Amino acid sequence: MRGSEFLRWVQGYAKAHGLPVEWRPDLGKGSHGLLILGARRTVVRNLRDELKTGTLRAMLKQLGLSRGELERR
């Protein structure tokens, strides 16, 4: 999964559940940006690169989500 796909999934999840979501590419260094979902936040690296499994798992944990929740939306 690419970073941009992850961002779209989280935005769709937020819309379906009525949660505020904000993408702040200006709050990261280089190609990193901050993704805020409700009161939780995570850093997303380059949107064009593939996310490694451990990185994806850690980002989901920081947002309080599971991969299944994103895929079900």
Q: 65-68: list long-range contacts, CB under 8 Å, 24+ apart.
A: 65/10, 65/13, 65/37
Averaged pLDDT, 28-43: 93
Assigned fold of 3-68: Metal Transport, Frataxin; Chain A (3.30.920)
Share of the chain above pLDDT 90, in %: 74
Residue 36, helix vs strand vs coil: strand
Supply the pTM of this predicted model: 0.88
pLDDT computed for residue 73 by the predictor? 59
